[in-house]
Amino acid sequence: MEIVICPDRDKGAAIAADIVARYLDRLQQPILGLATGSTPKPLYHLLAERHHRGELSFRRCITFNLDEYVGLTPTHPQSYRYYMQQHLFDRVDIDPNKTHVPDGLPADPAVLRETCRDYEAKIAALGGIHLQLLGIGANGHIGFNEPMSSLASRTGIRTLSRQTITDNARFFQRSEDVPRYAISMGIGTILAAEHCLLLAFGDRKARAVAAAIEGPLTARCPASALQMHPYATLILDEAAASDLQCRPEYDWAAANALGTPGTNNF
């Protein structure tokens, strides 16, 4: 794992934007895995700004989002499709047909299972994801793979944990409107990406970050599965890094790295 600790989230987002830009510039058909939540917002903002300045194009790029709620229309302000349109897709030159967010409708298990199979098949047919962006839940979840999800899981229907439902309640007017289910790439799907780039900012993430990096490899902390990934970069701010025990090791490795952040897979 490459651990990059930044003074604040703006610096972290800028480093992440450089990494994404490298893939967009270098590859003929870059395939990006995208995440939602508050964490990647400053990154998407920087990418949109760079596009606006004519420095970055998404024209050749194909995207697959990690997850989507079951039961929300794409125009629902809390849907992840809506989030992506607002924060990135409508602000850059990406071909809308090349953006993929799992479809959480209709809320019929048979149809959703088919959607999940198709999603996996589409990613595989394109040769897999080059760069997968990730956030982390305060309980260590990645995508909507809650604690105790199989570390080998593929895209499927997920039952949200009580904690996640409670956390999300603030975004909905009535508690009965809070989605109970989601479609999510599995941990196995995430681990199949060539490069995983996890961002974590703020002290609310400190415990989960420490468990993911320094704890045992365990389904209790789904993000700890990244310990098995050959090329995972974790960008943290000081607050998210505050529970790490081996900080001097990360600082030493960063100070002595041969490459720029995001290129040092060890």
Please, which residue, 88 or 264, has the CB nearer to ligand GLP? 88
- Residue 202 CB neighbour total at 10 angstroms: 17
**Gap between the Cα atoms of 38 and 136, Å rounded:** 11
Residues with Cβ within 8 Å of residue 177, at least 6 apart in sequence: none
* Footprint on residues 129-158 left by ligand GLP (CB under 6 A): 135-137, 143-144
**Catalytic residues, which ones?**
67, 139, 141, 146
Closest-by-Cβ residue to ligand GLP is 135
Close Cβ partners of 90 (under 8 Å, ≥ 6 residues apart): none
Whole-angstrom Cα distance, residue 26 to residue 2? 21
| 35 near ligand GLP, judged by CB under 6 A | yes
Q: Do the Cβ atoms of 221 and 140 come closer than 8 Å?
A: yes
Q: Please identify which residue in 2, 67, 68, 237 interacts with ligand GLP, judged by CB under 6 A.
A: 67
* Binding residues for ligand GLP restricted to 158-187, rule: CB under 6 A: 164
Site mask for ligand GLP (CB under 6 A), range 189-228, x = bound: ----------------------------------------
Residues with Cβ within 8 Å of 130's Cβ and at least 6 positions away in sequence, in order, are 23, 27, 30, 31, 32, 193, 194, 195
Shortest distance, position 113 Cβ to ligand GLP, whole Å:
20
Query: Binding of ligand GLP at residue 37 (CB under 6 A)?
Result: yes
The least CB distance from residue 77 to ligand GLP, in Å, is: 15
Query: Which residues bind to ligand GLP, rule: CB under 6 A?
Result: 35-39, 66-67, 135-137, 143-144, 164
